[in-house]
Chain A
């Protein structure tokens, strides 16, 4: 067994990276995969609280890197899913406490015992982001259908291309189908056309996501939530399964054909 390392990045903050990591991790673990999540945001730890594991932290990733504990000791097991682990970020250190080669070493140690390693990248395009993409086999770029988020996603995609991290895949998060219908929000097709990369998922805006974060129980566990379904679909696509994209009552006919075609590119 050798885990696939997937980094979730965005450039802009607040577009839903941490929520996406937590939801994809839960969806994969629900499917029986062994999953380790790494919070890459040193100094601004928050994946623990979204996953509901904040009270269990003893050691963090900087403790592992600086040799104060074994990797196993810093892996916090989920309350419900025994094959899901979190390696938390340090809260009182800064991003310079970790280097890209440290991240590679931690992932290499984890790889043999996991199916997936998900890394939550910090916002920005500096050291923390470089650390997060260094060990990645695959990078998911997450954006919202908004001008600032799309622009920052394009910068991140440009850097990934320059670093030869091939074929990043796009997650469009918080799409509001009603606003798209009113022509007051960029459609999934618009965002794909602008960014020109492969699509791996569209997540609709859904209040259940906030409720899930409040409770520390990601929404991908909720069979009734549309966003939860979208995250489960992305998890399946990460495993190489073909899952049709959800239909959000889009404005143009033939949109889904075009998206499927664009997805097939590269």
Chain B
């Protein structure tokens, strides 16, 4: 168990830093990011039917470039019409 805990410390440092740096760089807290996601989904679902369960919206970084990446699966219209 001691071994397992040891293994975690560098990893948890990296994970915590990844989150904290996103917020430092964008001035976006995790609460604000949650609000942004909700509003984004509301707007999109006004136009198309989306699969809310499978939605993934996250801030990703590549070097020092940050991007908001949204993967929003759309529900098939044909299936709905058929049903």
The yes or no verdict on A and B being binding partners is yes
A136, CB-defined interface residue at 8 Å? no
Q: Which residues of B contact A194 (CB under 8 A)?
A: 14, 17-18, 21
Chain B nearest Cβ from A31, distance in angstroms:
32
Q: Which residues of B contact A183 (CB under 8 A)?
A: 6-11
Instruction: Please measure, in the bound complex, the distance between the C-alpha atom of A196 and the C-alpha atom of B11, giving whole angstroms.
Output: 18
A207, CB-defined interface residue at 8 Å? no
Interface residues on B, range: 20 to 34
The residue in chain B whose Cβ has the minimal distance to the Cβ of A158 is B25
Q: Which residues of B contact A193 (CB under 8 A)?
A: 14
Chain B nearest Cβ from A71, distance in angstroms:
37
A154-B25, A183-B6, A183-B11 as given contacts; A147 in contact with B17, CB under 8 Å: yes
* B interface: dominant SS: helix
Instruction: Please measure, in the bound complex, the distance between the C-alpha atom of A190 and the C-alpha atom of B20, giving whole angstroms.
Output: 15
In contact, A186 and B14 (Cβ under 8 angstroms):
yes
Chain A nearest Cβ from B12, distance in angstroms:
9
Chain B nearest Cβ from A86, distance in angstroms:
34
Chain B nearest Cβ from A185, distance in angstroms:
6
Other-chain residue from A147, A155, A196 in contact with B13 (beta carbon distance below 8 A): A147
| Interface membership of chain A positions 177-189, coded 1 if the CB is closer than 8 angstroms to chain B and 0 otherwise | 0001011111100
B residues 37-61 in Cβ contact with A at 8 Å: 61
Instruction: Please measure, in the bound complex, the distance between the C-alpha atom of A185 and the C-alpha atom of B17, giving whole angstroms.
Output: 13
Chain A nearest Cβ from B4, distance in angstroms:
10
A147-B17, A150-B17, A194-B17 as given contacts; A155 in contact with B10, CB under 8 Å: no
B63, CB-defined interface residue at 8 Å? yes
In contact, A185 and B21 (Cβ under 8 angstroms):
no
Q: Which residues of A contact B10 (CB under 8 A)?
A: 180, 183-187, 190
In contact, B9 and A151 (Cβ under 8 angstroms):
no
The residue in chain B whose Cβ has the minimal distance to the Cβ of A266 is B63
Instruction: Please measure, in the bound complex, the distance between the C-alpha atom of A173 and the C-alpha atom of B79, giving whole angstroms.
Output: 59
Give A contacts to B, CB under 8 Å: 146-147, 150-151, 154-155, 157-158, 161, 180, 182-187, 190, 193-197, 265
